[in-house]
Structure 1
Amino acid sequence: MKRTAGSVLLASAVALSACSTINPYTGEKQTSKVTSGAAIGAVSGALIGIATSDSAKQRKERALAGAGIGAVAGGGVGYYMDVQEAKLREKLKSSGVSVTRDGDRIVLNMPGNVTFDSDSTQVKSSFNSVLESVAQVLKEYKSTMIQVAGHTDSTGGDRYNMLLSQQRAQAVANSLGGFGVQAVRMDVVGFGETQPIASNGSADGRQQNRRVELTLIPYEE
């Protein structure tokens, strides 16, 4: 069945437990161990700015058209994402950012310890070059929509964590925008501590949970 431009941006809730990832430190292929609950939450959150109402879809599509952004033909989506993935993996080697492929989606996991100082919402100056590399690829592949999602561990209050995650996601989006990625392509959201990918019962688990994720989804016909 042919998917519409609006419907394709609503990612289906599927578990990511068997996704192929590349370890950003060793360069080796590994299996991502993510709890199914967190995976479903992450995927269901990837709305990429298009709401369910027809009017919202039309407004978004008009905005994309006005920015000169067209959809990818259905038959070419797989190749379009394959090439994009390969370029991202090459640019992000040894950066600390992992690249996960799930169907037609690509997820870039940016750990908090390499992206931000503790309790800070300002992107580390040393990480700007990584975001610039990501932006270079995103500018080349303009039919890719981007969800920028912030996540925290469970330390601290719910409201504080939610605000921190939102501010960190916005900081990353602002940096990408500064490097030329159009704002109309980005959807910025904070999930606070609600979508852990590891146990908050250990320091290592909490460190994994503190992250910003970019979910890249093709804008299809």
Structure 2
Amino acid sequence: MSLIVLLSAAFIFSGCATWNKTQKGAVIGTAAGGTAGAVIGRASGNTALGAIIGAAVGGASGAIIGRQMDKQAEEIKKTVPDAKVERVGEGIVVEFNSNVLFAFDKSNLSNDAKTNLDKLVLVLNNYSETNIEVQGHTDSRGSEAYNQTLSEQRAGAVSGYLTAQGIAYDRITRKGFGETMPKYSNADADGRMQNRRVEFLITANEKMKAEAAKQTTN
């Protein structure tokens, strides 16, 4: 397994320009799986990457799922221009920095936040066969305990709003990581602002996986 993990990680981080996202999804899923996803996520400091790799099925089924995710990602980009949207393997990462969603040091959603989340909900409801993990993150200012609590509160506020707008409760999980998983530098104001973020990890649910597998046998 360790060799597979290393090969999978090398493939992902090299970002081979000759492969599209769908092809990467097929290979990553085949090589990785849950254990590899967890290892790569920890090694890279990227919880979104690890979770999406862990949910991958790979092979021909992964390629089918990848095509569906391509379509959904493009729709999110068009519908929610304030979000940063990235296709990763067989999933999608949607990132909002906290300025879009929250006032500084707050966990209650602003009116602008609700407007942006309403746009996202429209797309999520069009693709009901997906799971959504809501991750809260903070910068490094303040104590670790305070930041952990704030990240959990923000993830909870976002996931609660999604369910209130009609997203099925069992599609959503929420996690807070506090200051432990920065994607940007905490050495300057701009980096800290970007680290104060909420990420949405969109992956195939069991029904989508089963349907993709069925298509490969037809």
TM-score by length of 1: 0.69
User: What is the match of residue 65 of structure 2?
Assistant: 77
User: What is the match of residue 37 of structure 1?
Assistant: 44
Matched-pair contact (CA < 8 Å) for 2:52–2:90: no
Give deviations 1:103-127, integer Å, cap 9, x for gaps: 2111011101111001111011112
In structure 2, relative to structure 1, the CA distance for the partners of 1:118 and 1:77 (3 Å cut) is same
Higher fraction of helix:
2
User: What is the match of residue 155 of structure 1?
Assistant: 141
Give the Cα separation in 1 of the matches to 2:161 and 2:72: 20
Task: Give 1:113's match in structure 2, choosing from 99, 117, 135.
Answer: 99
Q: Which amino acid aligns with 1:85?
A: A
Give deviations 1:18-76, integer Å, cap 9, x for gaps: 599xxxxxxxxxxxxxxx7322x33335699x9xxxxxxxxxxxxxxxxxxxxxx6563
Deviation of 1:217 after TM superposition, in Å, equals 0.6
Task: Give 2:181's match in structure 1, choosing from 195, 199, 203.
Answer: 195
User: What is the match of residue 184 of structure 1?
Assistant: 170
Runs ≥4 in structure 1, deviation > 4 angstroms?
12-20, 45-48
Give the Cα separation in 2 of the matches to 1:99 and 1:17: 20
Give RMSD over aligned pairs. 2.7
* 1:92 maps onto 2:80 in alignment: yes
Matched-pair contact (CA < 8 Å) for 1:46–1:147: no
Task: Give 2:113's match in structure 1, choosing from 127, 151, 165.
Answer: 127
Identity value in percent: 37
* 1:169 maps onto 2:155 in alignment: yes
TM-score by length of 2: 0.70
Matched-pair contact (CA < 8 Å) for 2:135–2:176: yes
Give the Cα separation in 2 of the matches to 1:203 and 1:162: 20
Q: Which amino acid aligns with 1:106?
A: I
Matched-pair contact (CA < 8 Å) for 2:101–2:113: yes
In structure 2, relative to structure 1, the CA distance for the partners of 1:117 and 1:17 (3 Å cut) is farther
> Structure 2: which 5+ runs fail to align?
1-7, 18-42, 56-60, 211-218
User: What is the match of residue 33 of structure 1?
Assistant: none
In structure 2, relative to structure 1, the CA distance for the partners of 1:173 and 1:19 (3 Å cut) is farther
> Structure 1: which 5+ runs fail to align?
1-11, 21-35, 51-72
Match of 1:200, SS state, is coil
Give the Cα separation in 1 of the matches to 2:167 and 2:138: 25
Deviation of 1:188 after TM superposition, in Å, equals 0.3
Q: Name which structure has the greater RCO, CA cutoff 8 Å, separation 6+.
A: 1
